[in-house]
Structure 1
Amino acid sequence: MSPLAWRFAVRELRGGVRGFRIFLACLALGVAAIAAAGSTAEAFRQGLAGQAREILGGDLAATLEQRRFTPMERAAISKMGQVSWAVSARAMAEAPSGERRLVELRGVSGDYPLAGKVELQGAKSLADALRSVGGVPGAVVEQALLDRLGLKLGDRILVGNTPMIARAVLVQEPDRLSRGFALGPRVLTRLQVVEEGGFLAPGLPFGETARIALPAGADTAPAAKQLTKALKGAEARVRQRDEAAPGLRRLIEQLEYFLGFIGLASLVAGGLGVHGAVSAFLEQRKPVIAVLKALGAEGPLVRNLYLIQIGALALLGVAIGLAIGAAAPLVLGALVAKDLPIPALFGIYPLPLLKAGAFGLLSAAAFALGPLARARLTSPATLFRHDLPTRFAWGIEIVGAGLAACALAALAVATAPTPLAAAIMIAGVVVAFAILWALGLGGAWLAGRARIGARGSLRIALASLAGPRSAARTAAPAIGLGVALLAAVVLIQSSLLRQVAEVAPRTAPALVFTEIPGDRVTAFDAALTKAFGVPLTVDNYLRAPFATGRISQINGKAVVASQIARSERWAYDNDISLSAIGAEPPAAGIVEGHWWPSNYAGPPLLAMEAEVAKAGGLKLGDSVTLSVLGRDIEAKVAVLRKVDFGGFGASFPLVLDPAALEGANLRHVAIAKASKAQEAAATRALGVDFAEVNVISVREQLEAATELFGRLALAIRGAAGVAALAGLLVLAGAIAAGAQSRMREAAILKVLGASRGQILSVYVLEYGAVGVVAGAAGVALGCAAAWPVVTKVFQAHWSVDWTGIAALVGGAALLAALGGLAASLQALSRRPAPALRSE
């Protein structure tokens, strides 16, 4: 660029940023959203990384399910460093009043924790809280258990058949995040107490974890390989400290991308504001451009002159957005850091800011270079006639805009945790934007045709909609895109919230009973019938044997988990639940095949979940080898079925005929539909003769999920509102860009006899129509985007929140109409004579 272009650009920039406020706001809004999402996610990642050792409970952890480590395995683990041992099980806790509740019971060795600190209320230390007094061991419990059972510290509780004294409230365990979801409040006691209480008997669901503190300076990666080799064949899960919470890391990445995507969509929606602001600015500079060209300035000089100014202002807008985005997590940390369930290290991180800045600059280039091409290629005579062409002319500017748009999409895909999903979302935004643009053009065309038969204010409003500065061409796409994002979020939220709060309680069981003794099932059914006060039928009660097994071979060949689709790999690389059922159960969901007779006694037959079978390439008649209870069973696939894992039915991925497991004394599981009163009565009654049976309240889990989902959805809906705000900024920009011409139009109408009320109605009708069209189109596109997410990704029932939809369309129309009202008041603020004389 020549020094002359820089000199002229700096001179014009001295006049300030008037006319570029919308430009700056659109850029700053999108960049701030992307920067805030990235910075917040990085704060959580750094928090997890900084406390990885505390979260895991050591440098390494090895976990076994359904059995304990052998003496040889213990010796190999102990050689690696200091070791803390812990066992976990589920049991029913009972208060002296008879109230009972399922708890997550943990027994820990004396050197727990190796890293971090257990936070307690009511005791000086963990050792002091867990000591035995009068032969009764101590325990620390969560406040939720005390509240549910009506207890206070110092009271005695019965966990299974083991008495304990609640001596302290468990506030926080350093390794809680690494252990995942819990079905009930946590109870922590000494390892010996759990061992002697019978919670670790063969066949019961329990696990044991060894946490290892390596010697100072030891590298975890070689140590993890050594530990894996030492436990070869033990089916143990070995983790390093940087793998303490992989599920949380994935969740943070996905949430960062989703919120960042909303920011990117805001940038795209606000791109129209950028485009409009640059076009309006060049419209105002027509006399300057005309003089420069008349004096011999060439097109490149004109382009560079304004490119420098727009580039400088783009940098300013991006800087404002980065400042807001960097500050937002710091404010969040100051307000809610103590209430966050995940450790976070709030600060200013360069990488998320650099990424947000790149998004902002590419967006500015993609939308601002086009108008520069029109200015460069327009002759001085045309400029003096105030007639800038509306069509783009091919040139280096258009090529640059296209390259910037492609780079914007490529950056979004490259930085996403799932590139394919990112590409689909980017393509969806592009298609939606194109549809909304086409609808805007179509709306302007229809308005031009409809004005022929209209009269009065409506005719003038339709004529304005059909004109070259119509808001239908400029603001409608941006408003529609913002409404589409909000609609998609609202519809996904309402469908999933309804699934959790309404559909699931109707279709899912209210209670799940586990660890029912196989030799006492008749007595259990009788006790439950008495507690419910109504007969047990297939409509309100189902019971079946329960076991776990692993698919080891398919058609005689060993299973290679890496060759199985990732979505179904869980069924092939872990033990999964199975049952042995005679007659066809209710709602069996058979897709192919026929269920065996209730008295079948031939070679083993298997009913398999259809998607699991498809992932393994299985069909009817194929053979599957299952490792169950220490022996291999080769069964023929006789039934393929669709299993509703959250519904009221036999929700086992694998079901064998009863003869296949004959002689095995299997424990049973049962599900029941019950009212809250029946649930309380059954929980209390089973404590007398079936204290070992775990009672899981599905209703409580659904209520907790509803509350959690409601909080998360509110935050995401607020983030989606950023895109809608970008649309409103574009509307404001369209109003500001056409302010001068609107004043002249209003002045002419007043001279011709139009009243203020008529002029006001013209503007309200024009912009209100834009809001209605953009809102309706945005809602339709939001429905199209939300439906596959709800039905295919979450596999939930589709439902439409008509109240929310009506609010979105009405809100878009109202806000657009208010924008029209503001435009009309601005146009009417000047008297006709000065407005008509002004140039």
Structure 2
Amino acid sequence: MPLALRFALRELRSGVAGFRIFLACLALGVAAIAAAGSTAEAFRAGLAAQGRELLGGDLRISVEDRRFTPAERAAFQKLGATVFSAGSRAMAQAQSGERRLVELRGVSPGYPLAGKVSLAGVKTLDEAFKPDGAAAGAAVEQTLIDRLGLKLGDHIVIGNSPFVVRAVLVSEPDRLSRGFALGARVLTRLSTLETDGFLQPGLPDQGETARIAFAPPGVGGPSAPDPVAKALTRQFPKAGLQIRGRDEAAAGIKNLIRQLEYFLGFIGLASLVAGGLGVAGAVSAYLEARKPSIAVLKALGAEGGLIRDVYLIQIAVLAALGVGIGLIIGAAAPLALGEIARNQLPIPALFAVYPWPLAKAALFGLLAAAAFSLAPLARARATPPAALFRRDLTGRLRFGPEIAVSVLAFLGLAGLAIVTAPTPVAAAIMIAGVAFAFVLLWALGWGAALGAAKVRLLARGSIRIGLANLAGPRSAAKTASPAIGLGVALLSAVVLIQSSLLAQVSQVAPKTAPAMVFTDIPGDQVQAFDAVVRQAFGQPLTSKNYLRAPFATGRIVKVRGQAVNLDKIKDSERWAYDNDIALSAIGPEPSEANIVEGRWWSADYAGPPLVAMEVQAAKGANLKVGDAITVSILGREIDAHVAALRKVDWGGFGPTFALIVNPAALAGADLRNVAIAKTGKAGEAAVTRALGRDFPTVNVISVREQLEAATDMFARLALAVRGAAGVAALAGLLVLAGAIAAGARARAREAATLKVLGASRGQVLMAYGVEYGAVGLIAGVAGVALGYAAAWPVVVKVFEAQWSVDWGGVAALVGGASGLAALGGLLAALQALSRRPAPVLRAE
């Protein structure tokens, strides 16, 4: 057995004493990364395993603003079993007069092709769809039953059509793939929607979806959805078919899972970095205790390489132990989550032990251990025997193999984080930010120590002693404040982003956004509609509380006379060119027009078509004022020139249309209108009842209810993210504990000397409280400042929300950091004071 290995194993027999903080720091960060990755992998596996059920078949084909043609239907049915569905938003009214918006969906016989519809009250869809005289049967969500005070067997009116509530709609297998719904879901036969006029051409939010279950490959069915999708696109090149296979059942959710996994994993990585000082401190403290052994070995002729290898083997074994503990915790945490909340998760998950997330977390942990533990080894290897016998392990750090490997490990940490990130550029920015913050906090710690050396001359008694300790060579400001500050910075950034976005949803949006949205207003009855709304509100309608405009959808098909080439438009800016977008026709310039370039046309303009375009939509094709575009609207193409570019506040009270044309451009078109209004709860209830009497086909959307639901969902998500960020703060506290433990021997001698010189227990406790409380205060204030700097651009630039500071949360973070650090100092003082002075001072 090699000599270095024999010596290392001999020393490891003493156990892990002195390495508990080392193990805790590594295990904490590795566990956070492993748990985030394993949970995300469980969700991905669940989506993959149930992809066919989530999609409702092997292939999902949708069109917007129209029904499928007979040729398209025939082509679909040749591929396998096919079912069709279509939907419409409408108002549901109970016999009591209560009304609510619903998402009415009709399905053809044979639905669902994959999975199962879960119902309460009946067993099959045929029973749920059984009519009662002229009333069609329907299954409705429990939320609608609760809000309208219904029970099974009751009759309701949706639009102008009667329905009977036959069953409670618990779940549909393809619900997740259909996305967000504004109202409660109601399921009925597709033929009911067709015969009752819900699918008439020209109504907003129309479209149809086909789901196809392939025949088995052995009897002529295709084996994979991708070739079929490409063949259908070639067969119907101008049909606008939106096709998804079973592997893309929830593409948006998969992307969200990946982003959340990286964000939570990044917090775990930051915890490793914050705990890195604890790793370095633990190694330094251990080598400090082993100085006599190192000195003897060197005096007997041992080379520096042997010294390094002896302790490198020990650190490697202990690092593997710490990583192993973290992997066990990280693998077990998702399994525990699955047992506790399996039936409450909105996304299917297969909780198991997944090798890749654990391997990635282990690699992060080992790289962190190498990055932070090799520098103390380099110092011990380079220190001469005489210095070791003098208890001096503070030799100059020279560049050597240990430092080279340490630098490579740091680069490996950064590279692995970037390679595994969904967005490498964003990951590089985040890593650079953490590195900058760490260096800044380290410099601040040294600056605080130098400042304490100056300020102590002005103080007296215990405060002076505490400041002197803060300025001394073992100052916790140099070792613990960077780690505590980084943890507080991450936690404060999460708190500030959460408080701003939560305030935007719960406070700012209700003041600036409409309380109600009305859709499907008949164009020939707008004056009567305005009168009903005015009477229900009990006040005049002004531009401050009411806005109504015609509504249509169209697609930009040409830019400057050339057909739109999507390949030349960034993916993030294609939304205005690869789909139909909302547009309107408005004469006089409205309030909140927000013109940034060009000008609005006059109220009586009747010349060639002009358009006011949303500035980001124009940016996609590099459009400027005066450029020509061609828009396909209602089956005809209109050539228009850009008269103005405007910034649209999509959540504000204004005309939120990507395109607005002058009224003459759509002259003769029978357009339905949409309207928005601001009112209180009483006005909302009054106008809902009034419209149920006079305009039952007009849809009423309560923005207030949607904001309340968004607030609840965001608060729950933010709680999980805040808990993850707390891991980084815990790492900082572990570093503080390590710094206290490493200096325990010196602190005991210091306390004994003070007691011999006449200091009371209270004075010693106050000195320690001042020292460590100052460390926590400095780290807390600096961390909050860094968190503020990181959160502000995210809130203002990325989310374009109003900046709002949770001062209570900020004060709690600073006070918590200072208080916990001071408590750690007091505990250290109590431990030192518990020992009698004489034995401590007689000890070597």
TM-score where L is the length of structure 1: 0.99
1:645-664 matches, cutoff 5 A: 645-664=650-669
Q: Which residue of 2 aligns with 1:360?
A: 365
Is 1:373 aligned to residue 378 of structure 2? yes
Is 1:749 aligned to residue 754 of structure 2? yes
Structure 1 position 134, deviation (Å): 2.5
Q: Which residue of 2 aligns with 1:95?
A: 94
After TM superposition, the structure 1 stretch with the greater mean CA deviation from structure 2, 135-144 or 305-314, is 135-144
Structure 1 position 687, deviation (Å): 1.3
Q: In structure 1, the residue corresponding to 2:90 is in which secondary structure?
A: strand
CA contact (8 A) 2:129 2:188 kept: yes
Query: Among 395, 399, 406, which residue is 2:411 paired with?
Result: 406
Structure 1 position 410, deviation (Å): 0.1
Q: Which residue of 2 aligns with 1:22?
A: 21
After TM superposition, the structure 1 stretch with the greater mean CA deviation from structure 2, 525-534 or 729-738, is 525-534
Q: In structure 1, the residue corresponding to 2:127 is in which secondary structure?
A: helix
CA distance in 1, matches of 2:643, 2:258: 42
Q: In structure 1, the residue corresponding to 2:183 is in which secondary structure?
A: coil
Q: Which residue of 1 aligns with 2:122?
A: 123
CA distance in 2, matches of 1:125, 1:621: 59
Q: Which residue of 2 aligns with 1:543?
A: 548
CA contact (8 A) 1:76 1:230 kept: no
CA distance in 1, matches of 2:135, 2:700: 25
Is 1:209 aligned to residue 214 of structure 2? no
After TM superposition, the structure 1 stretch with the greater mean CA deviation from structure 2, 17-26 or 583-592, is 583-592
Structure 1 position 390, deviation (Å): 5.3
CA contact (8 A) 2:484 2:776 kept: yes
1:49-68 matches, cutoff 5 A: 49-68=48-67
Q: Which residue of 1 aligns with 2:679?
A: 674
Structure 1 position 567, deviation (Å): 2.5
Q: Deviations over 1:621-679 (max 9, x none)?
A: 11111111111111111111111011001111111011111111111100000111111
Q: Deviations over 1:233-263 (max 9, x none)?
A: 1101000000110010000000000000000
1:50-199 matches, cutoff 5 A: 50-199=49-198
CA distance in 1, matches of 2:519, 2:397: 70
Where in structure 1 are there 5+ consecutive unaligned residues?
Answer: none
Query: Among 269, 273, 298, which residue is 1:268 paired with?
Result: 273
Q: Which residue of 2 aligns with 1:39?
A: 38
Query: Among 604, 608, 612, which residue is 1:599 paired with?
Result: 604
CA distance in 1, matches of 2:566, 2:515: 35
After TM superposition, the structure 1 stretch with the greater mean CA deviation from structure 2, 291-300 or 457-466, is 457-466
Q: Which residue of 1 aligns with 2:569?
A: 564
Q: In structure 2, the residue corresponding to 1:549 is in which secondary structure?
A: strand
After TM superposition, the structure 1 stretch with the greater mean CA deviation from structure 2, 796-805 or 531-540, is 531-540
CA distance in 1, matches of 2:336, 2:162: 47
Amino acid of the structure 1 residue aligned with 2:759:
A
CA distance in 1, matches of 2:422, 2:619: 27
Q: Which residue of 2 aligns with 1:693?
A: 698
CA contact (8 A) 1:606 1:635 kept: yes
Q: Deviations over 1:360-400 (max 9, x none)?
A: 00000000000000010010000000111254221110011
Query: Among 803, 806, 815, which residue is 1:810 paired with?
Result: 815
Q: Which residue of 2 aligns with 1:737?
A: 742
CA contact (8 A) 1:262 1:723 kept: yes
Runs of 4+ in 1 over 4 A off after TM superposition: none
CA contact (8 A) 2:134 2:162 kept: no
Name the CA shift for 1:827/1:138 in 2 (closer, same or farther; >3 Å).
same
Name the CA shift for 1:433/1:523 in 2 (closer, same or farther; >3 Å).
same
Q: Which residue of 2 aligns with 1:3?
A: 2
Q: In structure 2, the residue corresponding to 1:79 is in which secondary structure?
A: helix
CA distance in 2, matches of 1:792, 1:64: 34
CA distance in 2, matches of 1:392, 1:80: 71
CA contact (8 A) 2:382 2:395 kept: no
CA contact (8 A) 1:84 1:109 kept: yes
CA contact (8 A) 1:580 1:658 kept: yes
Amino acid of the structure 1 residue aligned with 2:721:
I
1:192-341 matches, cutoff 5 A: 192-204=191-203, 205-217=205-217, 218-341=223-346
Query: Among 700, 705, 727, which residue is 1:722 paired with?
Result: 727
Amino acid of the structure 2 residue aligned with 1:48:
L
Amino acid of the structure 2 residue aligned with 1:126:
L
Q: Deviations over 1:39-58 (max 9, x none)?
A: 00000000000000000000
CA distance in 2, matches of 1:135, 1:499: 46
Name the CA shift for 1:712/1:563 in 2 (closer, same or farther; >3 Å).
same
Q: Which residue of 2 aligns with 1:791?
A: 796
Q: Which residue of 2 aligns with 1:483?
A: 488
Query: Among 431, 439, 444, which residue is 2:436 paired with?
Result: 431
Q: Deviations over 1:786-832 (max 9, x none)?
A: 00100111110001110000000000000000000011011111111
CA contact (8 A) 1:110 1:127 kept: no
CA distance in 1, matches of 2:17, 2:818: 28
CA contact (8 A) 1:199 1:206 kept: no
CA distance in 1, matches of 2:263, 2:31: 15
Q: Which residue of 2 aligns with 1:637?
A: 642
Query: Among 806, 813, 828, which residue is 1:823 paired with?
Result: 828
Q: In structure 1, the residue corresponding to 2:92 is in which secondary structure?
A: strand
CA distance in 1, matches of 2:133, 2:579: 43
Q: In structure 2, the residue corresponding to 1:536 is in which secondary structure?
A: coil
TM-score where L is the length of structure 2: 0.99
Q: Deviations over 1:729-782 (max 9, x none)?
A: 000000000000000011111111111110000000000000000000000000
CA distance in 2, matches of 1:583, 1:391: 77
CA distance in 2, matches of 1:194, 1:621: 44
CA distance in 2, matches of 1:227, 1:57: 19
Q: Deviations over 1:571-630 (max 9, x none)?
A: 111110011100000111011111111100111111111122122111111111111111
Where in structure 2 are there 5+ consecutive unaligned residues?
Answer: 218-222
CA contact (8 A) 2:275 2:483 kept: yes
Q: In structure 1, the residue corresponding to 2:630 is in which secondary structure?
A: strand
Amino acid of the structure 2 residue aligned with 1:437:
W
Percent sequence identity over matched residues?
70
Q: In structure 2, the residue corresponding to 1:671 is in which secondary structure?
A: strand
After TM superposition, the structure 1 stretch with the greater mean CA deviation from structure 2, 556-565 or 249-258, is 556-565
CA distance in 1, matches of 2:517, 2:637: 29
CA distance in 2, matches of 1:319, 1:231: 56
Q: In structure 2, the residue corresponding to 1:386 is in which secondary structure?
A: coil
Structure 1 position 455, deviation (Å): 1.3
Amino acid of the structure 2 residue aligned with 1:74:
R
Query: Among 384, 390, 394, which residue is 1:385 paired with?
Result: 390
After TM superposition, the structure 1 stretch with the greater mean CA deviation from structure 2, 266-275 or 383-392, is 383-392
Structure 1 position 178, deviation (Å): 0.4
Amino acid of the structure 2 residue aligned with 1:639:
A
CA distance in 2, matches of 1:540, 1:37: 46
Q: In structure 2, the residue corresponding to 1:38 is in which secondary structure?
A: helix
Is 1:419 aligned to residue 424 of structure 2? yes
Q: Which residue of 1 aligns with 2:220?
A: none
CA contact (8 A) 2:383 2:395 kept: no
CA distance in 2, matches of 1:223, 1:538: 51
Amino acid of the structure 1 residue aligned with 2:81:
Q
Structure 1 position 224, deviation (Å): 1.9
Amino acid of the structure 2 residue aligned with 1:142:
E
CA distance in 1, matches of 2:766, 2:198: 77
CA distance in 2, matches of 1:532, 1:317: 66
